Structures are given as C-alpha cells and as structure tokens.
Structure 1
C-alpha cells in the first residue's frame, strides 16, 4: 500500500478542452437555443462575447427586446438591475418562451447582492415559475423562468 501511494502516476490525467462547463453539455444546448428561434441576450459581460461565436447555426441573436423573443438570457449583477430588466423583458416573452436570469456566483469576485434563492423568489413573486438551473460559465449561474401553464 505504501509503495502504491508513494509512486506517482506516469501520465498526467487527460482533461478535455471544452466551453461546456461542468456537465460537458454545450451552453446553448443547456439554455435551449435552437435554429429559427430568437435569442435575446441582455447585459452580457464583455467576456461572454466569445460564447456568442459558438451559437448554433440558424439561431437569431438580438440584444434589444424590441419585439417578442423565444429565449432570453439576462445578466444581472444587482437586485436593481434584475427588477429593471425584468419589467422590460417579461412582457415581450413569447408564449411558451423562457427567460434565463444570470447572476454572479458568490465565489466569482463580482460584487453582487443577488443569489439563486433571491432570484428564484423574485421570479415566483412576479408570477413566473423556475424550471431549470445551470452554470453559464465560471462566473455566472442561471435560472430559467417560464409562464405557468394554464
């Protein structure tokens, strides 16, 4: 046993290079981005632009909620941003659509007064339901909201 513990492995472990986060699933698959659907991205940090280059072909990208959208990804670093952006985005959320709210992880070093529990409580108070959570990247977590089914 001591000999086994003292011996070091001959090869370093193979770590795959991927932008898919912890699960191995590509971000856009986790979020539900599909061809012929409009993806609205609001408040994204500059570091997120590289992720946008990996969008599936056929996804229509928008950065303003001028019309209805099928899928939204809204980055909010504060409760104030969440409230302000929510009031503008939810009325334009298409029937059957989803709005992801992203907030900084506590370990990210980004100043925030939000966490997952607060984002969930806010969305529920506003009449939507949370249906999924995911890691957006090393800095941001996301929670998906949809309208309640009748």
Structure 2
C-alpha cells in the first residue's frame, strides 16, 4: 500500500490486523528488526499492548512505524488522532503523517521526538 510508504523489498510486520481490513501487505520480518511495522488498535486500552509497543520501538529507531485505529464513531472506539498522538507522544515519539486506510480505519505514522 503506497500510502504507507512501504517500498518493495522492505521487511514488514503487521500486528493485530482484523480480517476485514483491506491491507494487502505480506508480513516478512520480525518486529525488532523490520523496516516497517503496522499495528492495529481498537481502543485506548490497546495502546499499551505488545503490538503498540513493537510499533513504538520501530518509531524510536526511525523505521516506518504506523498505528492504525478506527475513525471516530466506528467500532465503538474511544480513540481519535489527537488522543492517540497524546498517549504515544509520552513514549518518545511524535506523529508525522496521517492516512485513511479505508472508510473505517485511519493510521498515524510516528517518528522519534528528537
């Protein structure tokens, strides 16, 4: 998916993707060393889970790090761009780009705060 800035040949890890999400990415790496990590979360309770932690670790080493979340009013989420950014910014990263994955899901890319 070009919106995610993933290039051919890069190793990718996709974590927590629901079956009905139209992201056609072949997972080819391990979270600790992948060129790109895409983690899906549904509620704020998911933000401190292992999938999000893997994305945060990728962001801190300046790999492509995306956290996907339901758009407002979808899937009963309590997340939005601002709440996601505020929580994850406390972990040494900052949001740099937002994309729409489909009508239900958006994603924020994070990079190191430095």
Name the TM-score, length of structure 1 as normaliser. 0.66
Larger radius of gyration: 1
Q: Can you give the 5+ residue segments of structure 2 that lack an aligned partner in the other structure?
A: none
What pairs up with 1:62-81 in 2 under 5 angstroms? 62=28, 65=31, 67-81=32-46
- Report Cα offsets for 1:106-140 as digits up to 9, x if no partner: 243x0112111110111211110111001011100
* Residue 23 of structure 2 is aligned to residue 51 of structure 1: yes
Match of 1:61 in 2: 27
SS at 1:120 equivalent: helix
SS at 1:101 equivalent: strand
Moved runs in structure 1, 4+ residues, more than 4 A? none
Structure of higher RCO (CA pairs closer than 8 Å, 6+ residues apart): 2
Q: Can you give the 5+ residue segments of structure 1 that lack an aligned partner in the other structure?
A: 1-27
Kindly report the root-mean-square deviation, in angstroms, between the aligned alpha carbons of the 2 structures: 2.2
Give the Cα separation in 1 of the matches to 2:72 and 2:60. Answer: 31
Per-residue deviation, 1:30: 1.1
Name the TM-score, length of structure 2 as normaliser. 0.84
Match of 1:87 in 2: 53
Match of 2:87 in 1: 122
